C-alpha cells in the first residue's frame, strides 16, 4: 500500500466493546446520546478481494456519550450476504463492483431468481420504532441500537416495488413524514416517490405503509444517490449516468450496468401535494452523490449540490486506485454548486454559480432546523491539495455572501496525517443560532495507525476534545446521532 491513507481502506476484523475511551480535552457535559456510524469494513473473503470501496461488508460503529465519558462498540451487520460469506468462505451476492464469479448455469438462474445484495453499508435511519441500515437496494436491515445485533430485513406493509432506491431519505419535521423514491423496472421504468408517515410497529395493528406520491415514467433510469426536497416539491436530479437493468438480470455487477451519456442533466420537479410533474429543466452534464439542501425563495427553487463534472469519480474509488496499488492518479475534483430554477418556466434551461472555491463531500447541515429552508452553514469533508490527494480536512462554509457579493472564507480543521469522516452536527440544548452546537467526526490518524472521534465547537470550528480508539476504523459513509444511550 503506497498512499498514506491506505489504512482507511483495509479490513477491520475485530468486534469489540470498550466501556470508556481515553479522552483528550473535555467532552461537553450536556452531550448525551449515541452516534452510530455505518460503512464497509471487510474487503477480503479468503483469497478473493473486493474491487471497490462501495463493496466492503457493512460494520456499525457506536459512540455513546454520558456524563462527559465516551464508550465505543462495533459489530458487523449480519446481512444474508455477510452470513453466507462467514459460513462458506466465498462471495455469493453481486456487490457494487465485485462479481461472485458464478458458473454459467448460476448466471442463467440469476435471471429467474435474482440475488440482490442486502449489504447495507451506506447509512442509518429510523423507521417507526426500528433502527435500520440502508444501502441503494431496497432491503434495509434492522438492528438493536444498544447491542448492534442485526434483526433481519425490515419489511414494509405495502406492495410498492422497485430494484433501486436511495440511502438518503428525507424527513419533513412539520408533516412528520419521511420521503424517498424507488426505481421500478417492469413494462415501463418509473421513479416512484413515496411518503412514510410516522408510526410505531409496537402499536396494536399498526402498519408501516408507504404512500405513493408520484410515479414518473422515463425511458432510461438514471443513477441518483440522493435527491432534493423543499416545502412543496421533490427534486430528482437526473444525471446522464444511466442503468441497463438487463445487465443486472444477467448477473453483471451494478457498476457495469452504468453508462455515461453526455446529454445533459435533467431536474424533475414534482409537486408533493398533487404528485404531478411541475416541470423538467435541463442543464449541462454533471454528476453528484449528495444534495446539500434545497429551498424555495420567491418564485424560485434553489438547489445546492456537491457536484462533479462527470461520473469518473466512481472509477477513482476502486480499491486498487485508493490504495495506490496501480499507477493511476487519484483525482478528486468537485464543486459546491447552487442551481436556481424559475417555477414559472416548466422547461427552462438552468445555470449555476459556485459557492466558494473549495471541494466538499459528505455534506451535513443543521438538518432539523434548516432542511427545506434557506440556511447559512454547511459542513463537510474537503481536500487541501497542497497536503495530499484524498479528503484531509473538515470544512465549514457560510453560504451567505458578504456585502461585496463574494463568499466568506470557509473555516477549516486539519491535522497532519489525519483524514476525517462525515461531520455530524448536534445542536446545543439552548441553541439560539443555526451553528450553535458541536461537530462529531471519526478521524483516521495514519501516523499513529488508529482512529479517534473528534469533537469540534461548531461556531469556532476549534477542537474541544477527542476520544481515542485503539484500532483503525475503515473509512465509512454516513451516520446519525440519537438523543439516548
Instruction: Summarize pLDDT for 359-409 with one digit per residue, the tens.
Output: 999 999 999 999 999 999 999 999 999 999 999 999 999 998 755 555 578
What are residue 379's DSSP bridge partners? Answer: 364, 396
Report the candidate in 154, 19, 26, 22 with the shortest Cα–Cα distance to residue 450: 22
Instruction: For the chain, state the CA radius of gyration.
Output: 22
Tell me what pLDDT residue 201 has. 58
Q: Which residue shows C-alpha cell 451535513?
A: 364
Tell me what pLDDT residue 108 has. 43
Report the candidate in 482, 479, 485, 472 with the shortest Cα–Cα distance to residue 41: 472
> In which residue ranges of the chain is pLDDT below 50?
1, 103-113, 204
- This prediction has a pTM of 0.94
Report the candidate in 307, 161, 281, 177 with the shortest Cα–Cα distance to residue 231: 177
Report the candidate in 231, 229, 133, 124 with the shortest Cα–Cα distance to residue 181: 229
User: Long-range contacts of range 172-179, CB-CB < 8 Å, 24 or more positions apart?
Assistant: 172/229, 172/372, 173/368, 173/371, 178/125, 178/127, 179/213, 179/229, 179/234, 179/272
Residue 450 gets the label, from left (phi > 0), alpha (psi -120 to 50) or beta, of beta
The HSE-up count of residue 269 (CA atoms within 13 Å, CB side) is 26
Q: How far apart are the first and last CA of the chain?
A: 38
Map the chain to HEC letters. Answer: CCCCCHHHHCCCCCCCEECCCCEEECCCCCCCEEEEEEEEEECEECCEECCEHHHCEEEEEEEEEECCEEEEEEEECCCHHHHHHHHHCCCCCECCCCCCCCCHHHHHHHHHCCCECCCCCCEEEEECCEEEEECCCCCCEEECCCCCCEEEECCCCCCCCCCEECCCCEEECCCCEEEEEEEEECCCEEEEEEEEECCCCCCCCCCCCCEEEEEEEECCEECCCCCEECCCEEEEEECCEEECHHHHHCCCCHHHHEEECCCCEEEEEEECCCCCEEEEEEECCCEEEEEEEEEEECCEEEEEEEEECCCCHHHHCEHHHHCCCCCCCCCCCEEEEEEEEECCCCCCECCEEECCCCCCEEEECCHHHHCCCCCCEEEEEECCCCCCCCCCEEEEEECCECCCCCECCCEEECCCCEEECCCEEEECCCCCCCCCEEEEEEEEECCCCEEEEEEEECCCCCEEEEEEECCCCCCCCEEEEECCC
Amino acid at each position: 500500500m503506497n498512499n498514506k491513507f491506505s489504512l482507511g481502506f483495509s479490513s477491520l476484523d475485530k468486534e469489540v466493546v470498550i466501556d470508556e475511551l481515553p479522552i483528550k480535552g473535555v467532552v461537553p457535559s450536556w452531550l448525551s446520546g449515541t452516534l452510530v456510524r455505518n460503512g464497509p469494513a471487510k474487503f477480503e473473503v479468503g483469497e478473493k478481494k473486493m474491487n471497490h470501496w462501495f463493496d466492503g461488508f457493512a460494520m456499525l460503529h457506536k459512540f455513546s456519550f454520558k456524563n462527559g465519558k465516551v464508550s465505543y462498540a462495533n459489530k458487523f451487520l449480519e446481512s444474508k450476504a455477510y452470513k453466507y460469506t462467514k459460513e462458506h468462505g466465498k462471495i455469493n451476492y453481486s456487490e457494487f463492483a465485485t462479481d461472485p464469479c458464478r458458473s454459467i448455469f448460476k448466471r442463467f438462474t440469476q435471471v429467474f431468481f435474482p440475488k440482490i445484495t442486502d449489504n447495507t453499508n451506506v447509512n442509518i435511519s429510523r423507521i417507526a420504532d426500528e433502527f435500520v441500515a440502508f444501502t441503494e437496494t431496497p432491503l434495509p436491515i434492522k438492528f438493536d441500537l444498544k447491542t448492534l445485533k442485526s434483526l433481519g430485513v425490515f419489511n414494509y406493509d405495502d406492495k410498492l416495488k422497485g430494484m433501486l432506491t436511495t440511502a438518503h431519505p428525507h424527513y419533513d419535521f412539520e408533516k412528520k413524514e419521511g420521503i424517498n423514491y424507488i426505481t421500478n423496472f417492469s413494462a415501463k421504468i418509473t421513479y416512484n416517490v413515496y411518503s412514510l408517515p410516522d408510526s410505531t410497529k409496537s402499536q396494536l395493528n399498526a402498519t408501516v405503509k408507504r404512500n405513493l406520491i408520484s410515479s414518473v415514467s422515463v425511458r432510461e433510469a438514471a443513477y441518483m444517490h440522493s435527491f432534493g426536497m423543499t416545502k412543496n416539491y421533490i427534486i430528482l436530479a437526473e444525471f446522464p449516468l444511466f442503468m441497463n437493468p438487463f445487465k443486472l438480470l444477467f448477473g453483471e455487477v451494478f457498476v457495469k450496468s452504468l453508462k455515461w451519456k453526455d446529454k445533459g442533466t435533467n431536474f424533475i420537479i414534482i409537486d408533493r401535494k398533487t404528485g404531478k410533474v411541475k416541470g423538467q429543466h435541463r442543464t449541462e452534464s454533471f454528476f453528484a452523490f449528495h444534495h446539500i439542501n434545497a429551498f424555495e425563495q420567491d418564485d424560485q427553487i434553489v438547489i445546492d449540490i456537491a457536484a462533479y463534472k462527470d461520473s469518473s469519480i466512481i472509477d477513482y474509488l476502486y480499491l486498487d486506485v485508493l490504495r495506490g496499488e496501480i499507477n493511476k492518479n487519484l483525482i478528486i475534483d468537485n464543486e459546491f454548486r447552487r442551481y436556481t430554477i424559475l417555477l414559472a418556466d416548466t422547461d427552462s434551461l438552468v445555470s449555476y454559480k459556485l459557492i466558494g472555491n473549495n471541494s466538499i463531500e459528505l455534506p451535513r447541515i443543521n438538518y432539523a432546523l434548516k432542511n427545506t429552508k434557506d440556511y447559512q452553514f454547511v459542513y463537510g469533508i474537503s481536500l487541501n491539495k497542497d497536503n495530499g490527494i484524498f479528503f484531509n480536512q473538515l470544512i465549514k462554509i457560510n453560504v451567505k455572501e458578504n456585502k461585496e457579493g463574494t463568499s466568506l472564507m470557509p473555516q477549516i480543521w486539519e491535522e497532519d496525517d489525519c483524514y476525517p469522516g462525515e461531520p455530524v452536527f448536534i445542536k446545543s440544548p439552548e441553541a439560539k443560532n443555526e451553528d450553535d452546537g458541536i461537530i462529531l467526526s471519526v478521524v483516521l490518524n495514519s501516523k499513529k495507525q488508529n482512529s479517534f472521534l473528534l469533537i469540534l465547537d461548531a461556531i469556532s470550528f476549534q477542537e474541544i476534545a477527542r476520544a481515542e480508539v485503539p484500532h483503525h476504523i475503515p473509512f465509512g459513509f454516513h451516520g446519525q446521532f440519537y438523543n439516548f444511550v
